[in-house]
Structure 1
Amino acid sequence: MHGPASPGWLLVALCAATGAYCLLRMRSSVEEQRRTAGGEALMGFGMAAMAVPAAVAAPPRWAWLAYAAVFGAAAVRTLWAARTSPHHVHHLMGACAMVYMAGVMAESPGHHVQGGSGVPLLTGVLLLYFSGYVLRSGLRLLPMATAAGGTGTVGWADRPELSQACRLSMGIAMLAMLVTL
């Protein structure tokens, strides 16, 4: 992605750590949680790969097209699940945002793309959506964090406050990636 190298590497580390935790969550005994964690792991690792600073490794155009294809397939798969769960609608938005960012990077891997002045409309809409998601996720995390003190022996895969913190982290990372677009 565009932007300075240091924040880019921090973004890579955040997204990779989030993806790794989501892989751990796939060991849950609840099938729906395993499925959700798999999609979130894909998103975390995909965001980590896309966030590698362009000054260090500028992927060729075909790599961006491969990202678009992978997340396009994830969007189609998520579209089916989104008809029953509002959380899957968010996964659909995330996958579509990744397709959009990969498409922009495929068109202009070395410099910013803006038709005229200001922020492109779709980027602005995605920024608004993810800003709202981050605020809502942060507010939902507060009661979970205070209630988590007496949870007893809940496994790492079934900690709702940790999965919510991962979603919050990925939402913030998505905002950072969209801002640099």
Structure 2
Amino acid sequence: MHGPIPAAWLLVALCAATGAYCLLRMRSGVEEQRRSAGGDALMGFGMAVMAVPAAVFTPPRWAWPVYAAVFGAAALHALWAARTTPHHLHHLVGTAAMVYMAVAMAATPPAGHHVHGGSGVPLLTGALLVYFTGYVLLTGARLVPAPVTAAGSASARWGDRPELARACRLAMGIGMVAMLLTM
């Protein structure tokens, strides 16, 4: 991604930490938590890798089509899973956005050869920005503390707590907005 290097490293750290927490959530006793956590972990680590500043590491040209294929397969899986679980529609949009960004990175000329045409924001980038901005605002609003009963807080393990899963998705949504803004 192209953008300020300190911001890129913060995005890498945020996405990697989110991916690591999602891996831990995969140990949950709740089956739906495990399934959802796997997709979240893939997104977190994939976003972390994509956000590494280009000045530090530029992947070889063949890496972007591989990246698009991996997230394309994840998009097909999310499409299949969305039949029974509506949350997987969000995974579908997220993985499709990752495919879109990988294809855009593959089409970008090598460093130092950028063409500055100034044609504005592409329609798909704008639509994804609107979706993820709305998702961030909605998820952030859902994190507003609600009254918790003593029995409810004691019975849930830290990996099964829905507010932590929402916080991870919020972090990845913010990361996706930042990545789309740098395109």
Q: TM-score, normalised by structure 1?
A: 0.93
Higher Cα Rg, which structure? 2
- Kindly provide the CA deviation profile for residues 109-156 of structure 1, in whole angstroms up to 9, marking residues without a partner as x: 537678652100000000000011001100111135x53886125322
Residue pair 1:114, 1:120 contacting (<8 A) in 2 also? no
Residue 26 of structure 2 is matched in structure 1 by 26
What is the RMSD of the two structures over their aligned residues, measured on CA atoms?
A: 1.9
Taking the aligned partners of 1:66 and 1:170, their CA distance within structure 2 comes to 22
**1:178 is matched by which residue type in structure 2?**
L
Taking the aligned partners of 1:112 and 1:39, their CA distance within structure 2 comes to 33
Taking the aligned partners of 1:115 and 1:84, their CA distance within structure 2 comes to 44
Q: In structure 2, do the counterparts of structure 1 residues 73 and 114 end up closer, same or farther at CA, with 3 Å as the change threshold?
A: farther
Q: Offset of 1:34 from its aligned partner?
A: 0.2
Q: In structure 2, do the counterparts of structure 1 residues 14 and 148 end up closer, same or farther at CA, with 3 Å as the change threshold?
A: farther
Within 5 A, what are the aligned runs for 1:1-150? Answer: 1-108=1-108, 110=111, 116-144=118-146, 147=148
**1:17 is matched by which residue type in structure 2?**
A
- Kindly provide the CA deviation profile for residues 151-180 of structure 1, in whole angstroms up to 9, marking residues without a partner as x: 125322101111110000000000000000
Residue pair 1:24, 1:156 contacting (<8 A) in 2 also? no
Structure 2 gap segments, 5+ residues each: none
Aligned sequence identity (%): 72
Q: In structure 2, do the counterparts of structure 1 residues 112 and 34 end up closer, same or farther at CA, with 3 Å as the change threshold?
A: farther
Aligned residues: 180
Structure 1 gap segments, 5+ residues each: none
What secondary structure, in the 3-state scheme, does the structure 2 residue paired with 1:152 have? helix
Where do 4+ consecutive residues of structure 1 move more than 4 Å?
Answer: 111-116
Residue pair 1:79, 1:92 contacting (<8 A) in 2 also? yes
